[in-house]
Amino acid sequence: MTRMRVAVIVLVVLAVAKVVTQEYLYRSGTREVLVSTYRERAIAACQRDPRNVGLIAAPATWARPTDIRVVIGRNDLDVWIWQIDHDLWSARFRNPYLQLIGPDRQPNVQCDYDIVHGMATVSRS
């Protein structure tokens, strides 16, 4: 009986490890594809955003962001999850964004690039 329990536990651990590994590889691969595909478009859109004035020294500095993250949805929109008929529901919970973190001298400035609409929003975090 104990050998059977050990075998079941080993199989469960292997199954969990397989699922975790597959999920990690899928998410990291998806992130790399999204960043490499939309990086240049995001940088150009961040440079064109009129809110750059006063937030960042030169719009050209977006060409060297400190970090680029893939984010699903925007937390700053005032939409609840049950308001599925709201115009901004997809933007709040479903649309992918590239989040560019400002250059080394201004790490608290970020640009959110909406991949679906091709628009950027520069803000101070």
pLDDT by residue (tens digit) across 18-47?
999 999 999 999 999 999 999 999 988 888
CA distance 56 to 117: 23
Task: Check whether 90 has a pLDDT greater than 90.
Answer: no
- Specify the pTM: 0.75
What kind and span of H or E run contains 11? helix 2-48
Burial zone of 49 (CB within 10 Å; 0-12 exposed, 13-18 middle, 19+ buried): buried
pLDDT tier at 51, thresholds 50, 70, 90 = low
3-class state of residue 117 by DSSP? coil
Cβ atoms of 100 and 68 within 8 Å: the answer is yes
